[in-house]
Amino acid sequence: MFKSFHGWRIVASSGFINMFSVGIPFYAYSVFFIHLQNEFNAGRFLISSTLSIMIISGGVFAPICGQLVDKFSLKNILTIGTLIFGTGLIMLGFSQSYYQFVIIFGSIVALGMTLFGNLTTAKLISNWFKNKIGSAIGYAALGISLSGVFIPPITVLLISQYGWRTTYIIFGVFIILFFVPFCRYFIVNKPSDINQSIDNEKLGEKIDSNLSDRVMNILDIIKVPTFWVLIFIFSLQFCANLGVYSHIFPYTTDLGFDVNKAGLAVSVGALGAAFGKIVFGKLIDLVSARKTLSTSIIIQGLGIILVSFFSSYYLLLVAIFIMSLGLGGTVPLMNILFSKTFSPTNFGKALGIAVPFMVPIQVVGAPLSGWLYDINGNYDLAFYLNTAVCFLAFLFVFILKIPDDKQS
């Protein structure tokens, strides 16, 4: 698979970048959660709101970044994003109040993550693949889930040895010292830069695609009905995802298990999501987008219900794995379906425009679950509501129309 075609090295590099650009702000945050709560003497609503604030900021930055990735060198964008992201993480370690922490997290870290993250890597992969884009994006998205396997236990270890502040500083220094040279060496913007072709086809050979490469402006994009259906589906899935997964660590400790078992629960969820990315990335290359997406949502909703039912540790791990298997398809399916709908030429712009519209819905999940916990003393109602959110996303799939979608 990795032969001489550089596209698969791009996939592996994108996956490695995704592992840290998403893993540290999201997966590690569930481990930082309790320490931040104790440090700043804040409730779970306030601490979980920090993630929502970062997502809102990311939604503000996304349209700008979407324009940038369609126009400028992706290697340069990733390098700049690395520097901003790493600097923001270092600054978190020096924050002296909750509000300082939130400002840094929601501005510098959010901007860095947007540039050095999924929006840029997905655009990069769409430059290298068309017929095999489902598998390629699925493999690259594995990095997001693998970060959940490795980042939480590493974070637990670092915090136990050095404290939460120094841990953020260590992460930031590593990001800058490692990923700046990594991006300069491994990232190639497009196949023609090194005399290769999309999908490694012979030069001049036709790539199967009914997509128009016509450059679309913002009005062209927002007039496409599928654009809005995709926004509703994925914003609802992300809402349910954040509403449950960001609370898995404190939920597990609430059940009486220690921080090591809670960290393992987060990692098991990430492992399930990793399988989900492979399964749904492959599946969408074989069957219709509607069937693939609806299956992902059903599994996610079923898993959330099971998480709320099980208090036995090992049954809880099984439930978390099932839930994560479903939600694991969210990021690759979003990237693939936007690419199929708008072509690689307009992919970055379309996804960048979509993100701000997704934000108002998806940011509700984490703080709402925290607020319901604060007033009820448990997560039962929060998990039931997030299951209902999955059901609503499932209903929107029935009106989804994807260009050149398979009928099987």
Sequence-distant (≥ 6) Cβ neighbours of residue 214 within 8 angstroms: 345
Does 302 reside within a domain?
yes
Mean residue pLDDT across the chain: 84
For the segment 239-255, what is each residue's pLDDT rounded down to a tens digit? Answer: 888 888 878 888 898 88
- Confidence class of residue 104 from pLDDT cuts 50, 70 and 90? very high
Does 211 reside within a domain?
no
Of residues 163 and 279, more confidence is placed in 163
**Most distant CA atoms of the chain, gap in Å:** 64
For the segment 333-350, what is each residue's pLDDT rounded down to a tens digit? Answer: 887 788 778 776 777 778
CATH number at residue 316: 1.20.1250.20
Of residues 59 and 230, more confidence is placed in 230
Packing angle between helix 28-40 and helix 259-283, nearest 10 degrees? Answer: 140
Work out the end-to-end distance of the chain between its first and last CA atoms, rounded to an integer number of angstroms.
27
Q: Could you tell me the sign of the dihedral formed by the alpha carbons of 344, 348, 350, 355, in that order?
A: positive
C-alpha span between 369 and 379 (Å, rounded): 7
Question: The domain containing residue 359 runs over which residues?
Answer: 7-190+217-397
Determine if the pTM surpasses 0.75: no
Packing angle between helix 133-162 and helix 259-283, nearest 10 degrees? Answer: 170
C-alpha span between 196 and 211 (Å, rounded): 21
Does 99 reside within a domain?
yes
Q: How many domains does the chain have?
A: 1
Does 196 reside within a domain?
no
For the segment 74-96, what is each residue's pLDDT rounded down to a tens digit? Answer: 999 999 999 999 999 999 999 98
